[in-house]
Structures are given as structure tokens and as C-alpha cells.
Structure 1
Amino acid sequence: MRFADRPTVECDVFIEADVTRVWELATDIHLPARFSPELRRVRWLDDPGLVPGARFEGHNHNSVLGDWRTVSYVVELDAPRTFAWAVVDPDGRFGDAAPDPRTPVATWRFDLTPQAGGTRLAHGARIGPARSGLTLVIDRRPHHEEALVQLRLADLRTAIEGTLRGIKELAEASG
């Protein structure tokens, strides 16, 4: 798979908790920073927070790219079913001079489905189409593009699985 294919990774988990409780956790933008190996902290840029078009800032770190900042826009919100956000590079660190949520670095989402005895929670990300840290690495090693995309998807899968485990534990512990 190549970057231009807009690769996607998604995982899901069954949670023995009501969809309302799972929604509360999935839409807490601060929560993933507790479980992610890359996301360090998050804060709302707009008040009142969780509404379509609202923005939040994230601060990230990894061993290859160091530290960077993102801005995310809420692009889909259907309580208590779907929460999605488009991530842009507000500082042009990766090469796009005019960040636009219609052409994001990545798009992330949670999808919740009520099921007997609980909730099925899916969490996923789609890479691109805007330039990102991944494209910087691909620029340096274009002949390894497919392997680099697979490595990035594996990193994202690790973060997604950690977030899902964390939400499951919190939701089920609260009864």
C-alpha cells in the first residue's frame, strides 16, 4: 500500500457498558493521551467544545520526528454513534503551507454500536491526503514507501488498541 492510497487502520472492541457511558469516554479528547505512545496532551481551542467544526490542539512526540503540534477539527458528530476529527499541521512542519481540514494529515474516528449487553466500539484512522511526518520519511526513502506505510499503520494500530483497552477498562469499571 502506498501513501496515495490513503491507508486506513481500524480496530474494535466489545465493552460491557451502556452506549451512553462509552460515548462519554470516547468523546473525551483528553483520554487518548493517557493511553497513546505518541499523543502527549490535548486542549480545546474553541468553546463550547464538542460541536461540529470545533477545534482542539494536540501535542505529539515520537523517536523519529521528535515533537510536533496538530490542530483537529470535529468533522462528524452523531451522538451517541459517531465522533470524527480531521487533523491538520498548523505550523507547516511537514510541508503544507495552508492547512485545511478538507485535506487533512489524517482523519480519526470512533463509531459506537449498541449490542446486547453492551457496546461495540470501533476506532480508526485514515492517513492523508496532506503531507505528514510519514511523507517526510518517504521523501528520504521513496523505494521503501510500502514498508514505511506498513510501519506507520502498525504504530497507529498500537495506539488505537491501547486507547480501546483503556476505554473498555474505564467503562466496565464504572459499572
Structure 2
Amino acid sequence: MVIRDESIKNQLGDLYAEVGELFVNARGRLEGTGHPKENVVTSSAYLVENFSRAPVLVMCAIWGVHDNSGRPGLFDSAIPSAWSFNLALRSRGLGTAYATMLNNRPNEVAELLGIPPGVTTLVCFPVAYTLGNEFSPAPRRPASDITYFDQWGFTRVAPSVDGSARIQDGPGVVVEIDTEARPRAVWEIVSDINMPAQFSNEFVGADWLTNGEIEVGSIFRGRNSIQDVRDWETDCIVTEWIEREVFEWRITDPDKPGAIWRFEIAEQGAGSRLRFSMTIGKENNGTAPRALRDPLLENDVLFERRLIHKANMQRVVEGVRELVDGPANDDRR
């Protein structure tokens, strides 16, 4: 539906302002704080206050009523067309915002627009020409961080020539978990170098070798043990340290690391998402020589070693969640 009538737009704007009041209130609390959500909240509050000023409102709707089953269904066929509409606007010098808060007032919207029973509104686009074109991509992880090969969480830094895992391609592992806790609480746990020892079957513990405040360049010594195989220690150099966000360390040599380990914390709704990743180095570790000993077995050696890493890393992130959220319950599982 294309809506240009000023009276109808104003009434939709009033509804939007009612459901969006929380953004206006939050803007006052976050303004000038540098909070990571400050810009998003400020933009959302501006839209709440100016929704009806857009020359045109375009409402996307579909026949049917969502069953909340969690299965692919009603919205899945309509949402791609809504995103395509966004792209079409950009190609013509127009801009919009993906506004869904009117979905909280479906009956009022239906009555105002004369929408019959059995039709569901999905999103309303305020459309106007943009002031300037200083657009930039949203921050996104590199494809190599989120593309998995053969097993969920198995990554590689460089493309493989034949599709198999090779030391030279930087094989790695990623595990992630959502928690109800805020980043501050998660950071207090993951910034403790001894925490993984509570949950890992391989990592035993660690000690700081440098004194004072932790920063890039700080060094700690980690102790590891594989039962009935070997015990070993490694020096770990902190290569990134952003409080409440990132803790990364490299093994033995920052320039030629035996491995790169990394915790990342991101806000996820009212809670956090914890990402724990590692990349196996080309040297200065025990895995590379074993993998390179026989090229025919290189893929298998890396596959098995990463399965072990993944299992331990999964235990660690689940342990972190239990520490900050309390024991798991059936619903969360």
C-alpha cells in the first residue's frame, strides 16, 4: 500500500510514536555517552518523532495470518520482496528505514487503512530523497570468519585449492553461545586466563609473566596436558585487548604464531553473544609437523585435531554461560 494522505500519515505517526516512546526516552540516557547503541537509538528516536513527515509511507502486507510455529511460512515469501524494495529505492536516489513497530498495533493499523481480516502487515517504509549520499557498509565479519567447511565451526583463513584442509590455509574453529548477561559480566569471566581450565580437558592453567595492567604485549604462560600423550607449556602474547569486547592472544611468536586464540563479546538484545575462535599456525606447534608428515593424511590430522579443539571450546563457552546465567534449564537448551 502506498500512503500519501496527510491525515492518515499523521495518525500512523501517532501510533508509531506511542510504540516507539522507549527510544525517545533511551536517547536522553545515552546521548553523549559513547555507548555502542547510541547512534542506533538516536536514529530510531528521530524516526519516531518524524515518521509522518516522510512524503510517502509504503506498507508491505501479505494474505494470511502467521501461526507462530517457528517453521518457514507466511513471512518468508514477502520479506525478500521488502528488501528488494529497499535496493530499488537506493538505485533511484531514495532512502527508507525498515520500520516494524506498527506491527505492535495491528488492529488499529488495519482499521485506519481498511485492511480486511486475514491480511498481515509486515513492515512500513517511510520513503524520501536522502540528504547526501555518504552511505557506508555496516560492519560485518569477513566471509572467512563465518563460512564453515565440512563441520559447523570449521573455518579457514585462505581458500583451499582442492577443498581439503591444509596447514598453509589457516584452518580454525569457531564456537558461539548466547547468554542473558551483559558484556561487562561476560568480560569479567573470559578475561581470567585460568577460567578455561575449569572446563577444558586439555588446558590446565596459566600464569602472567608480565606485571601491571594487562595490555597488548602482555605475556602469560599456559600449561596444557593430553593424558597419556604429553604435557607442555607455551608463552602467550596478548595481541588485542579491548575491555568488554575482545581478548586475543598468540602462541610463542606474534609474527609466526603457533595458534591464534580469541574471545569476542557482542551485545545481543538484552544479553550478549560470546564467540570463541582459534586458528592453527603454520609452525611453532605440535599439529603442523604431524599434519605435514604425510600429505595424504594432512586433512585427516587437521580434522581430528579441530574436533578436539571444538569440543573443548564448546565446553568453555557453555561453562561461561553457566557462570554468568546460572545452571541451564530445559527451555534454554
TM-score for both structures, normalised by structure 1: 0.88
Q: Which amino acid aligns with 1:120?
A: R
Q: 2:246 aligns with which of 73, 82, 87?
A: 82
Number of aligned positions between the proteins: 163
Q: Which amino acid aligns with 1:146?
A: N
Q: 2:197 aligns with which of 24, 33, 41?
A: 33
Paired residues of 2:193 and 2:205 also in contact (CA < 8 A): no
Correspondence for 2:104 = none
Correspondence for 2:255 = 102
Deviations 1:90-142 (A, max 9, x none): xxxxxxxxxx2211000000111012121000001001022311123224444
Correspondence for 2:141 = none
Q: How does 1:21-60 map to 2 (within 5 A)?
A: 21-60=185-224
Correspondence for 2:271 = 118
Q: Does 1:172 align with 2:325?
A: yes
How many angstroms does 1:157 deviate by? 0.4
Paired residues of 2:236 and 2:251 also in contact (CA < 8 A): yes
Correspondence for 2:183 = 19
Distance 1:119 1:79 in 2: 14
Distance 1:64 1:136 in 2: 20
How many angstroms does 1:30 deviate by? 0.6
How many angstroms does 1:33 deviate by? 0.9
How many angstroms does 1:143 deviate by? 2.1
Distance 1:122 1:73 in 2: 20
Higher RCO structure (Cα 8 Å, ≥6 apart): 1
Sequence identity percentage: 31
Distance 1:26 1:57 in 2: 16
Distance 1:64 1:101 in 2: 30
Paired residues of 1:65 and 1:133 also in contact (CA < 8 A): no
Change (3 A) 1:63 1:142: farther
How many angstroms does 1:173 deviate by? 2.6
Unaligned runs of 5+ in 1: 89-99
Deviations 1:41-79 (A, max 9, x none): 111111125211100001111147401110101000111
Change (3 A) 1:168 1:86: same
Correspondence for 2:308 = 155
TM-score for both structures, normalised by structure 2: 0.47
Paired residues of 1:85 and 1:109 also in contact (CA < 8 A): yes
Question: Greater CA deviation, 137-146 or 28-37?
Answer: 137-146
Distance 1:126 1:17 in 2: 27
Q: Give the RMSD, CA atoms, in angstroms.
A: 1.6
Query: Which structure dedicates a bigger proportion of its chain to strand?
Result: 1
Distance 1:163 1:11 in 2: 10
How many angstroms does 1:26 deviate by? 0.9
